[in-house]
Amino acid sequence: METNKRDACLVFIPQLMLYAIFVSRASMSTIVLRTIAAVCIAVSASGCKTVQVMTEAQPGTAAEAARLAGRWVDAGGDAASATTWSRKVAAGVSAKEIEEAFASVAAEANLRPVGELFLSKELTARSGQDEKFLKIYSYCDPATARAIVDFNPAMAAFLPCRIAVVEQADGLWLYAMNMDVMLRLGRPMPPSLHTSVLRVRETMLKMLDRAAAGDF
């Protein structure tokens, strides 16, 4: 059994290294770092259990693992940056226009708004001083949420879907969880659930893109 696991490692690790190289568009030094990170992912578990899990996972798992490793290296080891989507809001697009874009896309996709957390407003009320804009918008498809928690209760920790609007020195930015990590690195979902989650994924990406462009 141990020999079989070792053989699987010897076959799989070069493949993972190639994934790390192919998905990279950066310099050779970054490619090397990505490759090292990808190999570390593959061999970190005793007996190459990680490789065993990945070979039994859904198609695209190895590629997503390599992309995640690459993003982690690019971010200097910052897990939050590696596991989120981000968009720079175009110059001249206001927070109100961002909200209108969110609302428009959510309505088109029947994605329900379930809450807002206006942190900068709360902080201003407490301090009496102007704060940089910071607001969290939450959305949910109740039926999909129920189904995904039935599939894996731990996924409740990712609910609801959220988009943060963050004012930085160079303007407004949008941030949301990268759902590909959950979709492609998780256990294979039943086809109907996978389809529903993909629909939510596409809606979230559309919200980010249209809001960043001020397209409402």
Instruction: Pick left, alpha or beta for residue 43 (phi over 0 → left; psi -120 to 50 → alpha; otherwise beta).
Output: alpha
- C-alpha to C-alpha distances, 201 to 28, 42, 44, 87, 157, nearest whole angstrom: 32, 27, 30, 15, 17
> Please, what's the largest Cα pairwise distance for the chain?
67
pLDDT value of position 16: 52
In this prediction, residue 3 carries a pLDDT of: 47
Task: Tell me what pLDDT residue 6 has.
Answer: 47
Q: How far is CA 146 from CA 1, 48, 107, 126, 193, in A?
A: 39, 34, 20, 37, 10
pLDDT tens, per residue, the chain with 216 residues: 544 544 455 455 555 555 554 554 445 455 545 555 555 555 554 455 665 665 666 777 778 888 888 888 888 999 999 999 999 999 999 999 999 999 999 999 999 999 999 999 999 999 999 999 999 999 999 999 999 999 999 999 999 999 999 999 999 999 999 998 888 887 889 999 999 999 999 999 999 999 999 987
Fill in the DSSP letter of residue 111. P
Distance CA 139, CA 54 (A): 31
Domains of the chain: 2-82 (no CATH), 84-213 (3.30.310.70)
User: Would you mind telling me the total number of residues written for the chain in this entry?
Assistant: 216
Q: How far apart are CA 160 and CA 14, in angstroms?
A: 38
Which phi and psi angles does 43 have, rounded to 5°? Answer: -105, 5
Tens digit of each residue's pLDDT (9 = 90 or more) over 20-50: 545 544 454 555 455 555 555 555 544 556 6
Name the DSSP letter for residue 156.
G
- Exposed/middle/buried for residue 111 (C-beta within 10 Å: 0-12, 13-18, 19+): buried
Any bridge partners for residue 164, and if so which?
A: 136, 175
Amino acid occupying residue 146 = R
